[in-house]
Amino acid sequence: MSSFSTRYQWSNTSGATAITDGAVHQILAAPSFPGTTTGSQIALTDIDIVNTSATVSTLVAILAGGTIVAIFSLPASTAALVQVAVARSYDTPLQIGKNVALNIQCVTPGANVYWNAAGFYFNS
């Protein structure tokens, strides 16, 4: 039986609060299953990111704890304030290690980044 057979869906968003600094921000804490000692893993299936800053472009890193697992380039908004969103769906989910949080970080402070993410977590 696959470990994916017992999985729990999750989704999270930055909401109305944009990332404007270079700090690491949590997308999803490391999940835990009651009564297990083997650990749990996060699987990221979808992420949407947009930078609404009219002047600052940035790179956005997706991290497994503190390790970069994906990086995206987000331009500043255009002169007409059109925002270029990045939407990524993983057909094979991006799996984060056991008992590790899924995080996001803007490499360039001063950007104005919003995000939505979804996936599942499972007992491994």
Tens of pLDDT, residues 36-86: 556 688 899 999 999 999 899 999 999 999 999 999 999 988 665 667 788
35, exposed or middle or buried, with CB in 10 Å at 0-12, 13-18, 19+?
exposed
Q: Average pLDDT over the chain, rounded to whole?
A: 86
Domain spans, the chain? 3-123
CATH of 3-123, one of 1.10.10, 2.60.120, 3.30.160, 1.10.3470: 2.60.120
Contact 13, 46 (CB under 8 A): no
**Residues 12-29, mean pLDDT to the nearest whole number:** 93
Question: Which one is predicted more confidently, 107 or 5?
Answer: 107
pLDDT at 123: 77
77: Cβ–Cβ under 8 A, 6 or more apart, which residues?
A: 51, 52, 53, 54, 83, 84
Tell me which H or E stretch contains 89: strand 85-95
**Verdict on whether the full-model pTM lies above 0.95:** no
Helix, strand or coil for residue 70?
strand
